Structure 1
Amino acid sequence: MLTDTIIEDDRWDAAGLAELAERAAQAVLARLPLDHAVEIAVMGCDDARIAVLNADFRGKPQPTNVLSWPLQELGSEEEGEEPYLPEPEDDGDAHHLGDLALAYETCAREAAEQGKTLSDHVTHLLVHGVLHLLGYDHIRDADATLMERLEVEILGNLGLSDPYREIDGPDGS
């Protein structure tokens, strides 16, 4: 398995977080030219727990949907350029890319507000988070464009729609 899922809130078990995490991570890695094993830790928690983590690591004491902690900085210094690929471990073990945490209440609320299923929204957030672990970011405009295009492609490969497409009405017009 590519992902190791830790469930701190039982609602994530019912939502199938472990399966969603594995599927999303596999889809991201299938798109990138990695030729060695990697692993990711994914934690399913609640808003209270993620608010503490967000305060501790980002100085923002409120809940958020997903947090990521890359093990190494892989982003390119050049805006809009592909990040560096992680190197294989010398001992042949899987390379740990980093950790992700998702907050149930925030994810469920956002999915409802956006008219999406929880699984589709969480899959998008997992793809987004795994890309962060691989050095993709959205701070600079060209980096955001690169990351969003890749997200849309990966989600499309999973049969999910473009989460960034603006939909004006029920028929998309």
Structure 2
Amino acid sequence: MLFGLLSAYFPPLNAEIYAIAAPVIFPETWALHVAAMTAGLVAGKMTHFVAAAKGAEAYTRRREAKEAREAQEAADQRRTVGPVRERLTRWSKAMIDVLDRPRLGPLVMLASSGIGFPPLAVVTVAAGIKRVSAVTFLAVTTIGCLARFLATSWLVSHGVSLGH
């Protein structure tokens, strides 16, 4: 659990690495360890979510000025980045823009936590700012992260057992 919590605050402690290592280090109890790590990660993400939600009012006041700057920066960036990166940036922004919608929002959160796109760190803060239900965020993020990490560990576990 501690590794997951720390990985929410310190990205070099990558939760995916833990999910890969758990079946090797804990061959009999890897699923329990991955579930505990996921609980820690989601708990850490919830603190980011709450902090973003609390800062939403200040964000709203500054948003108009920031959007004008970002529009200019985006125009400048389009001139310097390739078409693939520009397309990924556009898709990420479009996905984040729908976070507060009742059906699309949870799907974006599930994609983010389940496959990592758009990045969960970005979605967490954006969901807090957009005042997404904390219960919805917690449930969907837990399901997505748990599924991703268990699937990763399961693949490693079966690869390790095939090798013996």
> TM-score under structure 2 normalisation?
0.27
Report the TM-score, using the length of structure 1 for normalisation. Answer: 0.26
Q: Which has the higher helix share?
A: 2
Could you say which structure has the higher strand fraction?
1
